[in-house]
Amino acid sequence: MTDKPVEAMSFEEAMAELESIVGRLEGGEVALEASIALYKRGDALRRHCEARLAQAKAQVEQITLGADGAPTGSEPADLE
């Protein structure tokens, strides 16, 4: 577990830490109080990842739909 604020993490960083936490919790070797802290951190990481995915989905929808809501076709998208 890192001390980095969840909000400052990239999607990949958050997922990696979440996977580590899940592994530790599933291992059953963590004391109760530590398990609770890990669970809380894991929940925050999960929510962060879901929000980042929702943002990415919205960006993709904007790329694939024009201003009028119609598909933009096969023209290359400007990602910047």
Q: Quote the pTM value.
A: 0.75
Q: pLDDT category, 73, cuts 50, 70, 90? A: low
Q: Give a yes or no: residue 77 inside a domain.
A: no
> What is the number of structural domains in the chain?
1
Q: CATH no. for residue 47?
A: 1.10.287.1040
Q: Does residue 74 have a pLDDT over 60?
A: no
**Domain with 31 in it:** 6-64
**What is the mean predicted confidence (pLDDT) over 39-51?**
97
- Residues 3-36: tens digit of each pLDDT: 899 999 999 999 999 999 999 999 999 999 999 9
Structure tokens at 76: 């290359």
d(CA 32, CA 28): 10
Let me know if residue 70 belongs to a domain.
no
User: Does residue 58 contact residue 52 with C-beta atoms inside 8 Å?
Assistant: no
Residue 35 in domain:
yes
